A and B are shown apart, each in its own frame.
Chain A
């Protein structure tokens, strides 16, 4: 069976010929408020309507991969923090599990549970930012502050367990850097109780606001097969109705022990795969994360979380591609070891990079304001796009 290739652009421009005017080239970014950092998009516009959008990236390239080849295995971990700097825990986790699988290392149970708890907390924190900045992109200011209020509580928890608020360096090969302090478990549970009703508040002020729905529904639709072909992953792919979550479908750590739903977009407000669906997947996923945290804390075993941390990391020669589900999608670490104390190659398959690559395909035919909505709904972090 010969399947057709996906065309470069998904949509025909819907402007009648009689209304077409002269094209204008517009440079959006890298100092534009809604490009979420230093993304530049070269737009060709016909009035308010975009005829082509070409992202230009690399403004935040920090040579992570080159760096990683020149430092020891352990020293890479603080650098992985800085890839997707609003979900550092998940980045740590991906790299570390990759190494553990290469080393065939069993990890202490308590450490595994703590890892899941902090990763899910960080997922909530990251989705909160995605929500808030998305509101900001659409023009609503207040939800941004509300989500930051709640994210602050998560950061406080992180500060208590590992001392840092943004770049944690917490998850180590074989375990975690610190065991949870006394009373931390109760504080996390307290946060879970606090957080559940807050989701309704976000829904009231933003999610179900008619203006917000009008702005986001039926905009920037990514059909499922297009999304898969472009390598879109995570909530952005699930927004297109693809029931795929690495935590369930390619399990790592101890995610297979927890009971949670994989949220997919159903096109409740418009078409399946529109920006509202992607947004909604994030909102609903936070509730699922809370569920996972509750389960993990319920069964939190006693023990020494640093028990299995090896003194020296010796990675046998070989290679492994480890992919984990970060808040942005499938974060892959392709690690090649030659048996020495430094990596031979660490390639990062960055979810934000792949998610962004779909932009030229969905942008033509939408308005400038919609482009902002689409970029926001892909939830890119330029630190990860450019690495």
Chain B
């Protein structure tokens, strides 16, 4: 019997305590913000959209290798022999044309693993978070500025250079072989 009344008393008392808490909160300031009207300033480390400073990219593909979900796709073409591609902001010489640098933000897992291996700090995560679209394909960001003609031109040149190189190499090899043969030829009679 005592337990019965104690239960009723406890129920009423604790309900009143709880109501007191909600009553106090009725008059405290809201902690939420009215999002589109008020925006938080995000800390500088915020990992939102990826951004690539193409002037700084040397095309080393470290970020592509580091990405656990393969959302970065890079294609490079070697620069010409005497071509000056400029320097990155930390003074590294660029040797490659980065003709393609695609990041699919739709696949990105925001781990920022690509940011750390970058030797020049070209790729980084920005606090920019409002990039929703109606079409998933628009999430694919292309950072490279080369036009298709330029790319094919560069590729053509690279192919030619390679061919030339290969030809030169072949010629060199051949020459070496011939020299060897010649040496062998001259040696042969001696050994006989």
Q: Which A residues form the contact surface with B (CB < 8 A)? A: 71, 74-79, 81, 142, 146, 149, 152, 159-164, 167, 169, 177-178, 181, 201, 204-206, 208-211
* Neighbouring B residues of A77 by C-beta, 8 Å: 111
Among B7, B20, B31: residue with most chain A CB under 10 A: B31
Chain A contact residues: helix, strand, loop or mixed: helix
Contact indicator A205/B18 (Cβ below 8 Å):
yes
* Neighbouring A residues of B46 by C-beta, 8 Å: 159, 163-164
CB-contacts of B65-79 with A (<8 A): 66, 68
Q: A149-B31, A159-B46 are in contact. Are A164 and B110 (CB under 8 A)?
A: yes
Q: How far is the CA of A160 from the CA of B15 in the complex (A)?
A: 39
Contact indicator B111/A167 (Cβ below 8 Å):
yes
Enumerate the 9 nearest inter-chain pairs by beta-carbon distance, A residue then B residue, closest first: A78-B111, A163-B45, A75-B68, A163-B47, A210-B11, A169-B111, A210-B14, A160-B43, A205-B21
What 18 additional pairs, Cβ within 8 angstroms, besides A81-B111, A210-B11?
A: A75-B68, A78-B68, A78-B109, A78-B111, A142-B22, A152-B31, A159-B42, A160-B45, A163-B45, A164-B110, A167-B111, A169-B112, A181-B45, A204-B17, A204-B18, A210-B10, A210-B14, A211-B15
* Neighbouring A residues of B22 by C-beta, 8 Å: 142, 205
Task: Report the count of interface residues on B (CB-CB < 8 A).
Answer: 27
| Nearest CB of chain A from residue B28's CB, rounded to whole Å | 10
Contact indicator A75/B112 (Cβ below 8 Å):
no
Q: How far is the CA of A146 from the CA of B24 in the complex (A)?
A: 13
Contact indicator A178/B66 (Cβ below 8 Å):
no
* Neighbouring B residues of A164 by C-beta, 8 Å: 46-47, 110, 112
Contact indicator A161/B11 (Cβ below 8 Å):
no
| Chain A CB within 8 A of B113 CB | yes
Q: A152-B31, A204-B21 are in contact. Are A78 and B113 (CB under 8 A)?
A: yes
Q: A163-B112, A205-B22 are in contact. Are A210 and B15 (CB under 8 A)?
A: yes
Q: How far is the CA of A181 from the CA of B44 in the complex (A)?
A: 10
Among A78, A160, A201, A210: residue with most chain B CB under 10 A: A210
* Neighbouring B residues of A210 by C-beta, 8 Å: 7, 10-11, 13-15
Q: How far is the CA of A208 from the CA of B42 in the complex (A)?
A: 38
Contact indicator A74/B125 (Cβ below 8 Å):
no
Contact indicator B68/A71 (Cβ below 8 Å):
yes
Q: How far is the CA of A299 from the CA of B18 in the complex (A)?
A: 39
Q: How far is the CA of A350 from the CA of B151 in the complex (A)?
A: 50
| Nearest CB of chain B from residue A18's CB, rounded to whole Å | 28
CB-contacts of B17-41 with A (<8 A): 17-18, 20-22, 25, 31
* Neighbouring A residues of B31 by C-beta, 8 Å: 149, 152
* Neighbouring B residues of A167 by C-beta, 8 Å: 109-111
Q: How far is the CA of A167 from the CA of B109 in the complex (A)?
A: 9
Question: In this complex, what residue of A is CB-closest to B40?
Answer: A156
| Nearest CB of chain A from residue B33's CB, rounded to whole Å | 11
Contact indicator A201/B21 (Cβ below 8 Å):
yes
Q: How far is the CA of A206 from the CA of B21 in the complex (A)?
A: 10
Question: In this complex, what residue of A is CB-closest to B24?
Answer: A201
| Nearest CB of chain B from residue A316's CB, rounded to whole Å | 23
Could you show 21 A-B contacts with beta carbons less than 8 Å apart?
Answer: A75-B68, A76-B68, A78-B68, A79-B68, A81-B111, A142-B22, A152-B31, A159-B42, A159-B43, A160-B45, A163-B45, A164-B46, A164-B112, A169-B113, A177-B116, A181-B43, A181-B45, A204-B17, A205-B17, A206-B18, A210-B14
* Neighbouring A residues of B113 by C-beta, 8 Å: 74-75, 78, 169
| Nearest CB of chain B from residue A208's CB, rounded to whole Å | 6
CB-contacts of B39-96 with A (<8 A): 42-43, 45-47, 66, 68
